[in-house]
Chains A and B, each alone.
Chain A
């Protein structure tokens, strides 16, 4: 009677169940066979009655019994029927309980107005209920089979008798007493349906659950569970008892997660049931979510929706579905301004997904995280807000997730960097932006990011990174816009190169400095700092021991940049370097320019001194004199140094300039050194040399007169005065006492003697006046020369004679005087020679005069042949 519920009935059940609240009939799921079946003794009594045949007494009773039954199966009058009913009931008492069952059933049919073929033949009476109840009670005491057969027959009869009026709520027999029979479940279901139809939903559901429970582990159990679910769904739809509905969903979700919930081989059905459960759950979720997303939604609405979603997500829905409802949950949280939760949900979803979907989730997470971080939607370039560090770090992470698409532009990147900055991670911001700039150097935000980095790098003096940025900007043709200004790409790179170069230079990283400064030099020739670059590039070359490059670069610098503040140092450095390289022409160039242009620089005095030495060494005397002349005007020189320069200048002019110029210089210096007797003395001696050469004795006398007022105790002055005296002697003795001049002729002989002797004496005195109280180099030569003068005088004087015709006294006086004079002069000459030798041997004079004196007067031939051409002198050097 009871068969498996087919899939068709399953689906029908669903349809019916779901439409139950629409007033349509709900069909039972469990089959119950209520078709008519005649009540015969054969089916109940045959076997037992035959046993009775052995008893003659019983036979009669049996016959009576059968006869009454036969009659009752026919159309009788009500009175006959009552008679026969009484008969069969009476005889049945004798025949045993089985016969009583037959009798009671038959009595119930007949009293119920039902013919033997199941047709209604009369209205009947209400006695049938009693008969049915009795039949069942008796059968229950006999055996299970008969009991079941009887109870089922009773139900058939009941449905025939009451027909439309029959109610499963009031069956004629005690249904509970039949629970061991298969049909019982079907009856209970029908009762449930009945109660459901009457609005007794809880009772109906209890019955259904009861039946379902009894069928647990069987396919029919699944069908019933589904009915329960549908009914609960319907109930929820009507009552909106959400918790109950949630419990139901949870209950059955839990149950049907077990693929063996309906026994083995029922996986498909289990799956179908679960699908339906989830479908309903989804409906619930969507419904609640819809409510929660309305403007009027309360916290409770939100909470319920979220909780339901959580439960739904915990169920075995597909990952896609989970993702969908979690996103829904996120939206609800966002809508409810629960940003922390919303952010967390979307972040989680984003993390679990990929590609555009992930980015979309991140964007939604950012939407809430922005609120948590109190962060503006647009990159806050002008004023980066403070606070909310943790939330902002999280937000920065989120923006980074979004900023993965190469076409993503700069909005997210701008936020990332600014968030880093706001949370004290400026370096990270820069790193991030730099990476971004390397790929997408375009747009307003890129420009502002670059500007921020520029400002930061400038402030932090991080030139290498600024250089990298500059190259990126140039590559992308992107200007850097900071608060302060807008930098052109080349401006950024240029700044980085020169500052980086200077930094490297300061760190003695010369090669690094060269690389940077070289690039700046080539690419930024018009830059205002090109002079600085070139100057320091030269320093870098020098540091790197590329001296040739260093000098040429410094030269280039000084030629290009004549107004640079580095110029004085550049010229000095150039001079210093080339001095060490012995590049004399360069030394001249650098130091000349330095001394000329920066005369106020104390170091220029050193430059001038060096130049003077170099020009003299190179025999560029005009320049040497010009430089020395310049030096004379320098206040940095002390009196002694100025005097030395003055002497040097005059000596140089005397030896190398024209006499006129030498004179002019000497006079000028003498005039400007009135208070310096030493310089004056040297000036006078030089003037004396020139005037002596010109044979201007008068000038010499004037010079001598001027020199006479000077302090002869000072060696230099004494030397000068001594030289002047010597030169005067030389001048005066020139062409004196030649033989032809010693012709007395008709003149007074004695007067002539005195005249010549007087001339000699005068020159002799002049020569001897060269010997001063202080030892000088000119005393020896003067004495030597006056001795030679004396010899010449004697030689010429000896030849003087007078006419023998003159008065003898006159003649006698003449020769006596001549003899006296000759002896005197000879003695003086000898004395002078001796003194000159003493002078020479004392080391007072110079080698040439010493040699001359020693050779001529001392008979010393040891050195005379050799020292005038090449004095003995030696050079010493070390091989390392």
Chain B
């Protein structure tokens, strides 16, 4: 499991009470809902053992996943808890009850994506889109196929962005594609585009961490250090356990404000974690430790060349497919 996924799996959501999109659906751990609302959206990351955003508490998903009663609830539970192979089987059973059922087919496609089989996810999403060309969840999964596919050439990424955009436009409540578009724009260096995407995502997900965090990164990339700083500080003010935000704030202080001391303090605090406030932050802590050492070694200058990761020839480095 890669570093970032571990970071995000460990991150729990703080959902603003003003969230319009998930109003009534999103619950905090202190106020969990034990029943999955009909039509509720669930947001997960591939490989994650619990949803990134969901209206139902984690324990409920586990219970549902372990249910002896087959059906959509169990399927949702399996998906939410990352049991994508079992989810696939359950989804097929659901499809056998109602072939072509969009919900079950979406779940099957989502399960493939959960298992990082993006080609199959895209294939099943394509089946949905034949009859529902504007199905945002399916468009999102198809976009992931282009975004995460084996080819991953620039044209593929453009296609992915185009599809994410279509998903975003086709469903005013959908925001996974908006987030995906933002992070992809961020990764290809389109900071402005990313800022716009995350801005939109924030309105849809109720200032969710993923959108806020992306917006902070985009601000960093755009060199808008004050905005980046305030964004990460804002995240931390709402949830001090956000290790990634603490790490990025340290980088902002170092690069944007030449405040190596502040940056080092933040990193040191993250690494040592005296208040034990950063939960499941191992990967971020390791990155922070390396960066802290670099800061001290280079006095805030660029990291040593041997640390770079450079793509081969005409190919980008293959992305991990678990």
Does A613 touch B at the CB level, under 8 Å?
A: yes
Give min CB distance, B1 to chain A, whole Å.
Answer: 8
Complex interface: chain A residues within 8 A of B189 (CB): 839-845, 850, 853-854
Interface pair B291/A861, CB less than 8 Å apart = yes
For residue A731, which residue of chain B has the nearest CB? B313
Residue in contact with B3 in the complex, picked from A545, A688, A781, A865, CB distance below 8 Å:
A865
Interface pair A880/B124, CB less than 8 Å apart = no
Interface pair B99/A872, CB less than 8 Å apart = no
Complex Cα distance, B52 from A617, in Å, reads 26
Complex Cα distance, B309 from A841, in Å, reads 18
Interface pair A878/B117, CB less than 8 Å apart = no
Interface pair A874/B176, CB less than 8 Å apart = yes
Residue in contact with A851 in the complex, picked from B92, B187, B301, CB distance below 8 Å:
B187
Give min CB distance, B188 to chain A, whole Å.
Answer: 5
Residue in contact with B309 in the complex, picked from A852, A875, A879, CB distance below 8 Å:
A852
Complex interface: chain B residues within 8 A of A70 (CB): none
Q: Which of A618, A651, A855, A866 neighbours the largest number of chain B CB atoms within 10 Å of its CB?
A: A866
Q: Which stretch (B12-20, B42-50, B235-243, B269-277) binds chain A? A: B42-50
Does A870 touch B at the CB level, under 8 Å?
A: yes
Complex Cα distance, B40 from A497, in Å, reads 49
Interface pair A880/B311, CB less than 8 Å apart = no
Between A and B, how many residue pairs show CB distances below 8 Å?
254
Contact of A872 with B2 at beta-carbon distance under 8 Å, contacts A842-B190, A861-B251, A861-B291 already known: no
Interface pair A847/B188, CB less than 8 Å apart = yes
Does B193 touch A at the CB level, under 8 Å?
A: yes
Interface pair A870/B2, CB less than 8 Å apart = yes
For residue B300, which residue of chain A has the nearest CB? A859
Complex interface: chain B residues within 8 A of A849 (CB): 311, 316
Residue in contact with B137 in the complex, picked from A854, A862, A869, A876, CB distance below 8 Å:
A876
Complex interface: chain B residues within 8 A of A875 (CB): 43-46, 110, 113-114, 140-141, 144, 176
Complex interface: chain A residues within 8 A of B183 (CB): 871-873
Give min CB distance, A855 to chain B, whole Å.
Answer: 6
Interface pair A863/B186, CB less than 8 Å apart = yes
Complex interface: chain B residues within 8 A of A879 (CB): 36-42, 72-73, 76
Interface pair A860/B317, CB less than 8 Å apart = no
Contact of A846 with B103 at beta-carbon distance under 8 Å, contacts A730-B314, A864-B309 already known: no
Contact of A868 with B302 at beta-carbon distance under 8 Å, contacts A850-B189, A878-B41, A879-B76 already known: no
Residue in contact with A726 in the complex, picked from B95, B108, B113, B314, CB distance below 8 Å:
B314
Interface pair A777/B154, CB less than 8 Å apart = yes
Complex interface: chain B residues within 8 A of A617 (CB): 112, 117, 119-123
Does A375 touch B at the CB level, under 8 Å?
A: no
CB-defined interface of A828-846 with B at 8 Å, one 1/0 digit per residue?
0000000000011111111
Complex interface: chain B residues within 8 A of A867 (CB): 4, 187
Does A304 touch B at the CB level, under 8 Å?
A: no
Q: How large is the interface on B (under 10, 10 to 19, 20 to 34, 35 or more residues)?
A: 35 or more
Complex Cα distance, B151 from A868, in Å, reads 14
Complex interface: chain B residues within 8 A of A727 (CB): 313-314
Does A297 touch B at the CB level, under 8 Å?
A: no
Complex Cα distance, B141 from A873, in Å, reads 10
Residue in contact with A582 in the complex, picked from B52, B95, B114, B141, CB distance below 8 Å:
B95
Give min CB distance, B281 to chain A, whole Å.
Answer: 13
Interface pair A613/B123, CB less than 8 Å apart = yes
Complex Cα distance, B187 from A848, in Å, reads 8
Q: Which of B79, B191, B248, B313 neighbours the largest number of chain A CB atoms within 10 Å of its CB?
A: B313
Complex interface: chain A residues within 8 A of B180 (CB): 872-874
Residue in contact with A845 in the complex, picked from B45, B105, B148, B154, CB distance below 8 Å:
B154
Interface pair B123/A860, CB less than 8 Å apart = no
Complex Cα distance, B314 from A723, in Å, reads 7
Residue in contact with A874 in the complex, picked from B4, B52, B100, B188, CB distance below 8 Å:
B52
Interface pair B311/A582, CB less than 8 Å apart = no
Q: Which stretch (A204-212, A424-432, A573-581, A743-751) binds chain B? A: A573-581
Tell me the residues in window 681-722 of chain A with beta carbons closer than 8 Å to chain B beta carbons. 688-689, 692-693, 716, 719
Does A241 touch B at the CB level, under 8 Å?
A: no
Tell me the residues in window 737-793 of chain A with beta carbons closer than 8 Å to chain B beta carbons. 776-778, 781
For residue A777, which residue of chain B has the nearest CB? B154
Interface pair A862/B217, CB less than 8 Å apart = yes
Does B68 touch A at the CB level, under 8 Å?
A: no
Q: Which of A723, A847, A879 neighbours the largest number of chain B CB atoms within 10 Å of its CB?
A: A879
Complex Cα distance, B114 from A299, in Å, reads 108
Does A21 touch B at the CB level, under 8 Å?
A: no
Does B260 touch A at the CB level, under 8 Å?
A: no
Does B175 touch A at the CB level, under 8 Å?
A: yes
CB-defined interface of B228-263 with A at 8 Å, one 1/0 digit per residue?
000000000000000000001001000100000000
Give min CB distance, B246 to chain A, whole Å.
Answer: 13
Interface pair B137/A877, CB less than 8 Å apart = yes
Interface pair B44/A689, CB less than 8 Å apart = no
Does B172 touch A at the CB level, under 8 Å?
A: no
Complex interface: chain A residues within 8 A of B114 (CB): 875
Does B127 touch A at the CB level, under 8 Å?
A: yes
Residue in contact with B140 in the complex, picked from A843, A869, A876, CB distance below 8 Å:
A876
Interface pair B320/A870, CB less than 8 Å apart = yes
For residue B136, which residue of chain A has the nearest CB? A876
Complex Cα distance, B149 from A545, in Å, reads 36
Contact of A873 with B144 at beta-carbon distance under 8 Å, contacts A651-B153, A865-B287 already known: yes
Complex interface: chain A residues within 8 A of B92 (CB): 581-583
Give min CB distance, A472 to chain B, whole Å.
Answer: 40
Complex Cα distance, B157 from A777, in Å, reads 11
Does A179 touch B at the CB level, under 8 Å?
A: no
Interface pair A846/B154, CB less than 8 Å apart = yes
Complex Cα distance, B309 from A852, in Å, reads 6
Q: Which of A583, A778, A869 neighbours the largest number of chain B CB atoms within 10 Å of its CB?
A: A869
Interface pair B309/A855, CB less than 8 Å apart = yes
Complex Cα distance, B6 from A870, in Å, reads 10
Give min CB distance, A725 to chain B, whole Å.
Answer: 10
For residue A550, which residue of chain B has the nearest CB? B99
Complex interface: chain A residues within 8 A of B7 (CB): 866
Interface pair B151/A651, CB less than 8 Å apart = yes
Give min CB distance, B87 to chain A, whole Å.
Answer: 10
Complex Cα distance, B222 from A842, in Å, reads 10
For residue A855, which residue of chain B has the nearest CB? B308
Interface pair A547/B96, CB less than 8 Å apart = yes
Interface pair B3/A866, CB less than 8 Å apart = yes
Complex interface: chain B residues within 8 A of A862 (CB): 217, 220-221, 248, 251
Complex Cα distance, B110 from A878, in Å, reads 10
Complex Cα distance, B189 from A373, in Å, reads 102
Interface pair B42/A580, CB less than 8 Å apart = no
Complex interface: chain B residues within 8 A of A840 (CB): 189
Tell me the residues in window 580-638 of chain A with beta carbons closer than 8 Å to chain B beta carbons. 580-583, 610, 613-614, 616-619
Give min CB distance, B92 to chain A, whole Å.
Answer: 6
Complex Cα distance, B180 from A776, in Å, reads 22
Complex interface: chain A residues within 8 A of B43 (CB): 874-876
Interface pair B3/A846, CB less than 8 Å apart = no
Complex Cα distance, B119 from A610, in Å, reads 13
Complex interface: chain A residues within 8 A of B121 (CB): 617
Give min CB distance, B230 to chain A, whole Å.
Answer: 16
Complex Cα distance, B198 from A610, in Å, reads 34
CB-defined interface of A531-547 with B at 8 Å, one 1/0 digit per residue?
00000000000000101
Complex interface: chain B residues within 8 A of A723 (CB): 314
Does B184 touch A at the CB level, under 8 Å?
A: yes
Complex Cα distance, B150 from A776, in Å, reads 20
Interface pair A847/B4, CB less than 8 Å apart = no
Complex Cα distance, B314 from A693, in Å, reads 9
6 A-B residue pairs with CB within 8 Å: A579-B100, A688-B314, A847-B188, A852-B309, A871-B184, A880-B72
Query: A-B pairs with the 5 shortest C-beta distances?
Result: A843-B190, A580-B100, A847-B187, A876-B176, A580-B99
* New A-B contacts (20) at CB < 8 Å, excluding given A866-B4, A872-B45, A880-B103: A613-B126, A616-B123, A617-B120, A688-B314, A844-B188, A844-B189, A846-B152, A847-B188, A847-B316, A849-B316, A860-B220, A866-B287, A868-B317, A870-B4, A873-B184, A875-B140, A876-B176, A877-B41, A877-B103, A878-B39
